[in-house]
Structure 1
Amino acid sequence: MKVSLKYYTIKYLIMILLLIIAVWAGLFYAYILDEVHDNVDDGLRNRKIQIIKAVYLNPELLNNNDFGFNEFKINPIKAGEYQNKSRLYNKMYYMEYDDKDQPYRVLEADFIDQFKKQQRLVIRTSTVEEDELIYDLTTALMVLYLLLVISIVVVNGYLLNKAMRPFYRILDKLKKYQFGIPFSQEKQTYKISEFEELNIEINEMIERNELVFYQQKQFIENASHELQTPLAIVINKIDLMILNDDLDKKNLTFLTDVKNDLRRMVGLNKSLLMLSKIENSQFNKTSDVDFNGMIAQLVQSYEDFIAFKKIEVNIIEKGRFTADFNQDLADILLSNLLKNAVKYNHEEGILQIIVENNRITFQNSGIAVPLDKSRIFNRFYKQAADHTSTGLGLSIIKTIIKQYPGWEIRYAFEGTMHYFILTKNNVH
């Protein structure tokens, strides 16, 4: 799953912080624990010195053979048990207050008293408070750990969000940009040099694209215009030649074929120009279009063509098909669908136009074999061997539909009927 740069950065920042702070907290905990043990051990060693001094001053302390409230005892030992070095260790002792065993830190030290006898001094100190200290320390570390991580993430998220605002403005400008549509030329400056440089480069790129787009559009329009004039002149001259009574049948047929080819070239030129304009988004103005009413008008406009082929046309309205659409493109779209359904229908055929809320179906009779679904909307694809067609009508339909996300045109064949189904999304 793709995420934004901000959350991508925060995700890895959290992971790294968790690892670094966890290692730091562990080392800090070990260091504090060692310091606590050192302090306890230093206190026990200091008490050892004080007790041994006190024994020399007060021999009665040698009779303190059990732990009392002073938490030490002295017992005589044999010569073979004597050790010069003090020993420190942990041991569990019963504590009356809690009525259970509790941990103690114990120091054992052997010494020779004033009577030249070997004695063993055992001093203990409860580490219950030490455990509580460690527990409190651990709790404080965990709270600090969480607060630190949360604070860093929140601060970093805020700073990243603030720092990335120029980037999102630039990105929003790019999303809204379309060829041939003026965009905001307001000069914007950014404190971050990289975003400032990015904005400058994007503005320059847009200007270059607009220049190329304008030059291309002008070339297509000029080329189309320049072609239309000589083509019209040649067709008119051929018409004058056809009216000449001196022509025999062979020459008359030849000139008629040339005229038809020229007319096809005129249609091809107009269709290519139309495709270019649609793809270059030159039909951007939209309004609420009533497709039901437009279909009724177009059927009436093509009444002579329909009557010539003796086609039965039925408009079946099961709903209202309205959409925010360019009026001119809607007219081209429906005209091409209607002409296609009439032109490639057989004489005395049937054409049914079924209008629903989100779908329009052109159902017409015709050749008894299905068309190639994978190629039917390609440019210059022709049905059967029709030499009068430019092969661009259905391609223009597909190009128009591509301008509106969520819209779809598809072909189907069932029985002897051909279906062209136009569907739209539910967003108005």
Structure 2
Amino acid sequence: MKVSLKYYTIKYLIMILLLIIAVWAGLFYAYILDEVHDNVDDGLRNRKIQIIKAVYLNPQLLKNNDFGFNEFKINSIREGDYKNKSRLYNKMYYMEYDDKDQPYRVLEADFIDQFKMHQRLVIRTSTVEEDELIYDLTTALVVLYVFLVISIVAVNGYLLNKAMRPFYLILDKLKKYQFGVPFSQEKQNFSITEFEELYVEINEMIERNELVFYQQKQFIENASHELQTPLAIVINKIDLLIQNENPDKKNLNFLTEVKNDLRRMVGLNKSLLMLSKIENSQFNKTSGVDFNWRISKLVENYEDFIEFKKVEVSIIEKGIFVADFNQDLADILLSNLLKNAVKYNNEEGTLNIIIENDRITFQNSGASVPLDKSKIFNRFYKQGSDHTSTGLGLSIIKTIIKQYPGWDIIYEFEDKMHYFILTKNKA
């Protein structure tokens, strides 16, 4: 799922922060535990010295063989068990008050009393429970983490919104920009150098694109108009030649073929010019278009052509197809779909135009084999040997549809019927 730059940054910041806090928490816990043990150990060593001194002054302490109020005991040991070094370790002892074992830090130290007997002094002191320490530490870290996350999200969100405001202004300008449509060139002063440079570069890029677009547009229009004139003159001269010279059948067929080729060039020239205008967004003006009414008018306008092909056309209205569309493009779109369905239909074939609220289907008979779905909307693609076709009709339809997000045109073949289905996004 795609997210904005702000949330993308915050997401990874939180993940990294969580990892850092987890590592820091482990090190912090080990450090605190080590400090606790050091302090306890220092206290135990100090008590050892004090108790041994007290034993020399009061021999009665040698009879303290169990842990009592002072939390130490002294027991006689054999000479072979005597050790010079003190030992420190952790041990669990049962506590009546809590009715469970509690952790203690224990120090063992061997010494020789004033009677030359070997004695073992064991001192214990209660320590902080590690599980409680972990719980308290975890609670503190969770609270700290939540506070940090909320603070970072709030501060980062505020700073990013403020810092990225110029970026969103530039992005909004790019979204609204269209070729051939005047755009705002008012100077903007940004406090961030990179955004200032980006804004300048985008303005310069738009100006270059506009210049190239204008030059291309002029070239296409000029070339198209320049070609139309000589083609029309040549066609007229061929007509005069056919009418005045009374050519034989062979020459007549030759001239007729040349004339048909020239007419095809005229159609090709017009189609290419139309494609260029559509792709260059020269049909920007839109309004509410009633496709039901326009289909009815087109069927009336093509009545002679339909009768010539002996095709039975039926308009089946199951809904009202109305959309915000350019009227000229709507006529071109529907006209090409209708001509395509009639031209490549069988003699005495059928054409059903099914109109629904969000879909128009052109269902027609024709070739008994399906067309190539992957190629039929490509330019100059022709399936068959029809030399009169420019191969641009369906390409123009697809190009028009691309100008309107949410619209689509698809081809299906079922029960020897060809389907061209025009759909729009639901309002």
Q: What TM-score results when the alignment is normalised by the length of structure 1?
A: 0.84
- Would the aligned equivalents of 1:92 and 1:102 in 2 still touch at CA under 8 Å? yes
CA offset at residue 330 of structure 1? 0.8
CA offset at residue 78 of structure 1? 4.7
Amino acid in structure 1 at the alignment position of 2:224: S
Amino acid in structure 2 at the alignment position of 1:398: K
Aligned pairs (5 A) from 1:61-210: 61-114=61-114, 117-127=117-127, 136-137=136-137, 139-148=139-148, 151-152=151-152, 155-156=155-156, 158-210=158-210
2:52 is aligned to: 52
Amino acid in structure 2 at the alignment position of 1:35: E
Closer, same or farther: CA 140–367 of 1 in aligned 2, 3 Å: closer
Unaligned runs of 5+ in 1: none
1:389 is aligned to: 389
In percent, how many aligned pairs have the same letter? 85
2:282 is aligned to: 282
SS in 2 for 1:329: helix
2:358 is aligned to: 358
SS in 2 for 1:357: coil
Name the stretch that deviates more: 172-181 or 394-403.
Answer: 172-181
Amino acid in structure 2 at the alignment position of 1:273: L
- Would the aligned equivalents of 1:289 and 1:322 in 2 still touch at CA under 8 Å? yes
- Whole-angstrom CA distance in 2 between matches of 1:339 and 1:118: 118
Closer, same or farther: CA 328–83 of 1 in aligned 2, 3 Å: same
CA offset at residue 7 of structure 1? 4.3
SS in 1 for 2:285: coil
SS in 1 for 2:264: helix
Aligned pairs (5 A) from 1:220-231: 220-231=220-231
SS in 2 for 1:91: strand
Closer, same or farther: CA 19–386 of 1 in aligned 2, 3 Å: closer
- Whole-angstrom CA distance in 2 between matches of 1:238 and 1:290: 43
- Would the aligned equivalents of 1:345 and 1:367 in 2 still touch at CA under 8 Å? yes
- Whole-angstrom CA distance in 2 between matches of 1:341 and 1:130: 84
CA offset at residue 278 of structure 1? 1.1
CA offset at residue 334 of structure 1? 1.6
1:29 is aligned to: 29
1:305 is aligned to: 305
- Whole-angstrom CA distance in 1 between matches of 2:132 and 2:364: 89
1:399 is aligned to: 399
Amino acid in structure 1 at the alignment position of 2:191: K
Asked whether 1:422 is paired with 2:421, we answer: yes
Deviation readout 1:250-270 (Å, 9 max, x if unpaired): 566655554443333222211
Deviation readout 1:208-232 (Å, 9 max, x if unpaired): 2222111111100111112222333
CA offset at residue 366 of structure 1? 4.8
- Whole-angstrom CA distance in 2 between matches of 1:275 and 1:80: 107
SS in 1 for 2:224: helix
Amino acid in structure 2 at the alignment position of 1:271: S
Closer, same or farther: CA 256–82 of 1 in aligned 2, 3 Å: closer
- Would the aligned equivalents of 2:179 and 2:213 in 1 still touch at CA under 8 Å? yes
1:378 is aligned to: 378
Closer, same or farther: CA 217–73 of 1 in aligned 2, 3 Å: same
- Whole-angstrom CA distance in 2 between matches of 1:384 and 1:110: 109
Q: What TM-score results when the alignment is normalised by the length of structure 2?
A: 0.84
- Whole-angstrom CA distance in 1 between matches of 2:62 and 2:166: 83
Unaligned runs of 5+ in 2: none
Moved over 6 A (4+): none
1:339 is aligned to: 339
Amino acid in structure 1 at the alignment position of 2:209: N
1:291 is aligned to: 291
Amino acid in structure 1 at the alignment position of 2:405: P
Deviation readout 1:116-155 (Å, 9 max, x if unpaired): 5554433222225787556534543454355445544554
Residue correspondences, number: 426
Q: Report the RMSD for the aligned CA atoms in angstroms.
A: 3.4
2:317 is aligned to: 317
Aligned pairs (5 A) from 1:2-41: 3-41=3-41
Name the stretch that deviates more: 226-235 or 288-297.
Answer: 226-235
- Whole-angstrom CA distance in 2 between matches of 1:197 and 1:333: 43
SS in 2 for 1:39: helix
Deviation readout 1:280-320 (Å, 9 max, x if unpaired): 22112221111111122122222333344554433332322
- Would the aligned equivalents of 1:317 and 1:356 in 2 still touch at CA under 8 Å? yes
Amino acid in structure 2 at the alignment position of 1:422: I
CA offset at residue 355 of structure 1? 2.5
Deviation readout 1:337-361 (Å, 9 max, x if unpaired): 2233344446555444332333333
SS in 2 for 1:409: strand
- Would the aligned equivalents of 1:408 and 1:423 in 2 still touch at CA under 8 Å? yes
- Whole-angstrom CA distance in 2 between matches of 1:383 and 1:353: 23
